[in-house]
Amino acid sequence: MESDALLNEEFEPPGCPAGLAGGESFSGNFLPPWTEADHQPVTAAKAHRFKESRHAREFRRRFFPDTTDKEWRDWHWQFRNRIRDADTLSQMILLSEDERQAFLHPGGALPFAITPYYASLLDASDARQPVRRTVVPVIDERFHAPGEAGDPLNEDMSSPVPGIVHRYPDRVLFLVTSICSTHCRYCTRSRLVGNNVRNITAEQWDRAIAYIAENDHIRDVLLSGGDPLTLSDDALSGLLSRLRAIPHVEILRIGTKAPVVMPQRITPALTRMLKRYHPLWMSIHVTHPDELTPEMTRACVRLADAGIPLGSQTVLLLGINDDVETMKRLVHGLLQMRVRPYYLYQCDPIPGSSHFRTPVSRGLQIIQGLQGYTTGYAVPTYVIDAPGGGGKIPLLPAHAVGRDNGDLLLQNYEGRLYRYPDSETAATGIH
C-alpha cells in the first residue's frame, strides 16, 4: 500500500514570493511566522504565498542541487526521498558518537526516516538540538527501563477487530496505515510503524468499517496510524466517504504530523477534498517552536481556511520542550497559525524512552506557568494516557486548597488565596 500512496497530485503554480522578510537562520533557531520589522502576524493571504523558507533553500542547494522547485514542493518527492540510513544522514549532519553507535548497534537497524524538508530543520553540528533529538536515534533507545512495554496503553487488548481500538463508549481509534513519512523516536506505536511492518490491508479496512457500522453508539472516529496523510487523496477520500455514509458517525478526525514534517502534503486538492466530509477535525503533532516554519504556517492556514478545526497534541520531552518559556513560544506560535493547543501528553513508557520522560511534576509546573500568564486558548490539557488501557487522565495543579467554615479556599495563579461560598446548606437551600 506504500506505493499506492504515491499518486499524481496537483501542483501549485510557480513564481510566488518565497521566505520571510527577515530573521530566519539556518541553524534551526526560527522566529515565529511574522516579519521581524513590524512584528505583525502573517495574514492568511501572505501565508499562502510562502513557497520555501531560506533555510530550506540553502539545505536544498547543498544536498539536493539537481532538485527542481516543482519536485521539492511535491509531497510525493519528499516521501520518496526520505533519509533512511546513517550514511545518507551523515552527509548532511555531523553524527555524534552516540548517534553513530545507535545505528551500528548489533541489535539491528532502528526504524528511521526523515523527509528532506524536515532534515533541513536539523542543526548540522549540535546533537542536542531539540528537533534533532526527536528524530535521530541515540544509544539510550537500547536501554529498556522497568515499566516500559511495547504496547503500554494496552491497545491490542482493546481491539475487537484489526485496526480498531475501542476504549471509550462513543468513539474509536481507526489505525488506517502503518506508514509514516518521518519517525519520531518516542512513538507510542513504534511496534506498528517502521521496518518490516506490514501495512494495513483493504480487507482490514472492510472489517473495521463494518465494525463501526454495526455499533450505533460510535459517533466519533479518529483516523490515525501511521499517518493517514501518507495515503493518496483518492484512498483517503474513499475511506472518509464510507465512514461519512454511516448514519450514526457524527464526527471524523484525522491525527497527523504531515503539516509539520511534510507540509507539502497540504495541497489545495487535499483541502478541497477534505471539505466534503465536514464536520472533520484534525489533530497535529507539534513538539517544538523550531517546527513553526513558514511552510508549516502555510499548511495550517490552508487547512483552517477549509473550515477544519486544528488542535495540537504535544508530547512532553525531557530537555526538548520541558520548560515554561519553550512551551509558551510553542503555544503562542500555534495560535498565530490558528492551531489550538489541545493536549500536552506525558511521554508514554515505550521501550527505550526513559531518556525522554520527565517527572510528572515538571508537566504540572509548565501548566502552572501558563495558566493566568497567557490566554486560556494557549493552555493545553495535561494528560497521562494511563498504562494498561486506563485512558487519558487529566492532571491539573492544585487550586482548591481546602475549606474553612463552609467556604472553598482557592489559590489563583499568583498564589493568592480566595474564598468561594460552597456550603452544603447553600446547595440545598436550607437556612
Which of the residues are catalytic? 167-168, 171, 180, 184, 187, 189, 348, 385, 392
- 35: number of Cβ within 10 Å: 15
> Cα–Cα distances in Å, from 134 out to 112, 143, 317?
11, 17, 9
DSSP bridge partners of 284: 256, 312
Rounded distance, CA 87 to CA 95, Å? 10
194: cell is 517502521
Name the strands in the sheet holding 407-411, side by side, starting at the edge strand that comes first in the sequence: 400-404, 407-411, 417-421
33: DSSP letter = S
For 328-332, the CB contacts below 8 A with 24+ separation are 328/369, 328/370, 328/373, 328/374, 328/378, 329/32, 329/289, 330/286, 330/288, 330/289, 330/292, 331/370, 331/374, 331/378, 331/379, 331/380, 332/32, 332/374, 332/378
Q: Which of 350, 337, 343 is nearest to 316 (CA)?
A: 343
- Encode 168-191 in three state secondary structure: ECCEEEEECCCCCCCCCCCCCCCC
Closest-CA residue to 82 (of 6, 164, 187, 189): 6
Backbone torsion region of residue 28, taken as left when φ is above 0, otherwise alpha when ψ lies between -120 and 50, otherwise beta: left
> For the chain, how big is the Rg over CA atoms in Å?
23
- 160: its cell numbers: 475487537
What is the rounded CA–CA span in Å between residue 367 and residue 344?
9
Give residue for cell 528532506.
Answer: 116
